[in-house]
Each structure stands twice: as structure tokens, then as C-alpha cells.
Amino acid sequence: MEQMNKSRLSLVVHSVFAVLAGWLAVYIGNNLYGGVVGIVVLIAVGFGVEKAVKEKGFKWWLANGLIVYLFLWLVSWAYFFNLAM
């Protein structure tokens, strides 16, 4: 049960920061800088969640944050980009 709570926490944190990074990428106005900011946020959130839940390993992070972050970041970036146009 504790493992499930750690996974949920990781997914929620990565999801929130993915949407914020997608908005920030559009707000910056330059796609290259927006992409760099998104990757930097991903790495920072990954290390933060890793310390908070005390889980290590790329496979755990891949399943409990990375894929969700990249998907939601792309979706939110496209959504906010179309709003700005």
C-alpha cells in the first residue's frame, strides 16, 4: 500500500509541474528555450520526488513520472500554444 501512495504522489507532482512547464514554454515564446526549461523542470522534479519518496532507479522514475510528465507537457504546450495564437 505504501508503494502505491509513493507512485500516486510522484504522478501528481509530475503532472502538475508538466502543465506548468507547458504553460511556461509558451509564455517564454521561443520553442528552443521552452524545451530546455521543460527538460530542466523534469530533471529537478525527478530528483525532488526521488528524495521525497526515497525511491531510486531509472525504471521506477520512468514508470511513475517520466512518461506522464512528457505526455502532459506536450499536451499542455499544444493547448496553451493554440490559445495564444
Chain segment 1-15, per-residue pLDDT in tens: 687 788 888 889 999
Alpha helices (runs of H) in 1-85, residue ranges in sequence order: 2-28, 31-53, 58-61, 67-84
Identify the pLDDT of residue 1.
60
pTM of this structure: 0.86
According to DSSP, residue 82 is labeled H
Q: What is the mean pLDDT of residues 40-66?
A: 87
